Amino acid sequence: MLFLYRLKSVNKFMEFSAKQIAELLNGEIIGNDKILVSDISKIEDGKSGTISFLANPKYEKFIYTTNASIVLVNKTFVPSKPILSTLIKVDNAYNSIATLLGFYDSLIKNKEGVSSLSFVSKSTDISQISYLGEFAFIGENVKIGKGVKIYPQVYVGDNVKIGENTTLYPGVKIYFGCEIGNNCVLNSGTIIGADGFGFAPQEETADYKKIPQVGNVVIEDNVDIGANSAIDRATMGSTIIHKGVKIDNFVQIAHNVEIGSNTVIAAHSGVSGSTKIGKNCMVAGQVGFAGHLTIGNNVKIAAQSGIGCNLSNNAVVQGSPAFHYRDYQKSSIYFRRLPDTNKRIETLEKEILELKTIISTIKN
């Protein structure tokens, strides 16, 4: 398509017409089909020469004041005032802008070639690799699939397997024997396969003896892992991240953990050893899991919750220790009133003491 050619022909910014965008997104143009844009903006501070979108009715007021040249809107949108921007009506504005962002993202990350400053062991074949950056290290007997991109200063240990079209951003470290699937993204600073936290207390010397961690980490297809997250290798067997899992920045996954497909985990959460989390779960930020738990499918856990027991399918919990979110929200009303309630109790105790004194005086 002309639109795709246009994307590939520019160095840094996109530049395309409303007509080209409408063709790509199967949209309907309301306005000037020849107007060009070269960047993307939020609707509330849109500038001339940019494309924006309106998906949430909460932001409708901005469509009447935005300077964005093109705005994507849902086909159901009916304006209540005149609009200066060219509109492109699509089935789903949010999905459509995601498609455009995907093209933009692929453009700016279109790295190719193998740097002479990288190191590749002789027993590893990199003939299918798409990009290998400066000071990357590839160990012995590594299997690398077609289209893989490995950015500078990545370490890939011996006997690692990396599937097709996976991207390892700068500073990723993958220890020996781990397996990464197809279409995965590991962001900068991610560490896969560091030793699990296993130490045996010694009664005689009151110190700890390290337990060797001889397992590995298996990451299936279409997994995204945020920056500076760590997934520890199993003591024995595998720590397993199933297909479609999305893990945010600064998340700790301990040894022998298993995370079900399409589960999402937000930043600063931690999962202790041997806990199993089901499919399609949603874990908000700063959630902590105790070890050896079983979390069912479709579970939702609110931010800063502490999970100390098993959770059944479809559970929705909040708090530390966590319990049903509606009960937690009701209880939070009382939490907030505790200082006032305490004052009232102290006042009542004082009044009761005074009454006892009066009664005692009357009796005497």
Rounded to a whole number of angstroms, the distance between the first and last alpha carbons of the chain is: 103
Task: Please pick, among 255, 268, 292, 324, the residue that the annotation labels catalytic.
Answer: 255
Burial (0-12, 13-18, 19+ Cβ within 10 Å), 27 = buried
Pairing of strands 258-259, 276-277: parallel
Q: Residue 239 is inside which H or E element, if any?
A: strand 238-241
- The Cβ of residue 356 has, within 10 Å, a number of other Cβ atoms equal to 10
Q: How far is CA 288 from CA 41, 247, 323, in A?
A: 36, 14, 14
Place of tokens 């102290």: 346
* 255 part of the active site: yes
Burial class (CB in 10 A: 0-12, 13-18, 19+), 60: middle
At 245, the amino acid letter reads V
Query: Which of 255, 128, 141 has the alpha carbon at shortest distance from 182?
Result: 128
* Rounded CA separation 349/217 (Å): 60
Is residue 108 packed enough to be buried (19+ CB in 10 Å), middle (13-18) or exposed (0-12)? exposed
- Fill in the DSSP letter of residue 11: S
Report, in angstroms and rounded to the nearest whole number, the Rg of the chain calculated over CA atoms: 28
The catalytic site residues sit at: 255
